[in-house]
């Protein structure tokens, strides 16, 4: 009889254990650390993947809060955009998390404080941060990753980088309204009926029903998920 305790079996077992005995969580983490121990491969790649993961988590949490702020200011369409970006960032973070764990390294969520302002300021900040990721952060990651050339790491970073380009374009379109007449002009945006779709593989974000396979990862259309509008509670 094969007595090998596979990683998959281990994960199933620990999920069941933590469900039945929540206090066992710490023990499971410790066991997982032992079983999934990194063997020293790809140290620089893991470091960069963790930096990328942190950046995506911080972006995801900010977009979630921007969404709530926009809803509270009655900018429902802008809230919808922020919620789509939140989903996309979560996919990027999950991709990194998967890869970091498969390399046997542990991961901790970053500690940071949210910086939330009014929707006009949040939009400007979002555009600026997306641009920094496109021009600085990801080119830096690509350069560092080239030392160890782990294909999957480069691919996931490429997914994120290209998605951020889409984010920046969509935000910039709306940001054109963020001058001194932001409020009346932003209200015009609220008359539009955007439909956001996000690719669950790469986080590609589009504002209308896609007709072709994903332009970033090339996966079939079925991987695009239509996003519901965030709930308005007033």
Let me know: does 42 contact 148? Beta carbons within 8 Å.
Answer: yes
Of the candidates 32, 52, 36, 34, the one whose C-alpha atom is nearest the C-alpha of residue 44 is 52
> Which distant-in-sequence residues (6+ apart) come within 8 Å of 39 by Cβ?
104
Kindly determine how many residues on this chain lie close enough to bind Fe ion according to the rule CB under 5 A.
Answer: 11
Which 38-67 positions form the footprint of Fe ion (CB under 5 A)?
56
Instruction: Work out whether 160 is an interface residue with Fe ion (CB under 5 A).
Output: yes
Q: Render 61-121 in DSSP notation, one character per residue.
A: HHHHHHHHHHHHTT-HHHHHHHHHHHHHHHHHHHHHHHHHHHTT----PPP-------HHH
Instruction: Work out whether 92 is an interface residue with Fe ion (CB under 5 A).
Output: yes
Closer CB to Fe ion, 177 or 224, in the complex: 224
Instruction: Work out whether 204 is an interface residue with Fe ion (CB under 5 A).
Output: yes
Closer CB to Fe ion, 71 or 206, in the complex: 206
Instruction: Work out whether 132 is an interface residue with Fe ion (CB under 5 A).
Output: no
For residue 206, give the DSSP letter: E
Instruction: Work out whether 24 is an interface residue with Fe ion (CB under 5 A).
Output: no
- Least distance CB 52 / Fe ion (angstroms): 8
Member of 89, 95, 123, 178 binding Fe ion (CB under 5 A): 89
Let me know: does 11 contact 35? Beta carbons within 8 Å.
Answer: no
- Least distance CB 41 / Fe ion (angstroms): 25
- Least distance CB 222 / Fe ion (angstroms): 11
Residues within the interface to Fe ion (CB under 5 A) = 56, 89, 92, 160, 199, 201-202, 204, 214, 216-217
């Amino acid at each position: 009889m094969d007595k090998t305790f596979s990683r998959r079996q281990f994960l199933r077992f620990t999920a069941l254990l933590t469900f039945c005995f929540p206090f066992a969580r710490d023990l499971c983490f410790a066991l997982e650390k032992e079983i999934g121990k990194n063997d020293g491969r790809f140290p620089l790649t893991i470091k960069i993947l963790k930096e990328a993961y942190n950046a995506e988590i911080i972006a995801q949490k900010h977009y979630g809060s921007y969404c709530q702020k926009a809803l509270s200011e009655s900018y429902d369409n802008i809230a919808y955009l922020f919620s789509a970006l939140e989903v996309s960032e979560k996919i990027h973070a999950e991709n990194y998390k998967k890869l970091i764990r498969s390399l046997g390294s542990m991961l901790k969520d970053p500690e940071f404080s949210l910086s939330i302002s009014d929707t006009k300021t949040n939009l400007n900040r979002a555009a600026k941060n997306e641009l920094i990721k496109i021009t600085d952060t990801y080119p830096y990651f690509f350069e560092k990753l080239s030392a160890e050339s782990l294909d999957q790491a480069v691919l996931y970073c490429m997914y994120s980088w290209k998605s951020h380009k889409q984010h920046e374009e969509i935000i910039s379109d709306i940001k054109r309204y963020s001058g001194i007449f932001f409020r009346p002009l932003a209200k015009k945006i609220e008359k539009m009926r955007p439909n956001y779709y996000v690719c669950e593989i790469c986080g590609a974000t589009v504002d209308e029903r896609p007709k072709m396979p994903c332009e970033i990862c090339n996966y079939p259309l079925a991987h695009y998920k239509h996003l519901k509008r965030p709930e308005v509670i007033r």
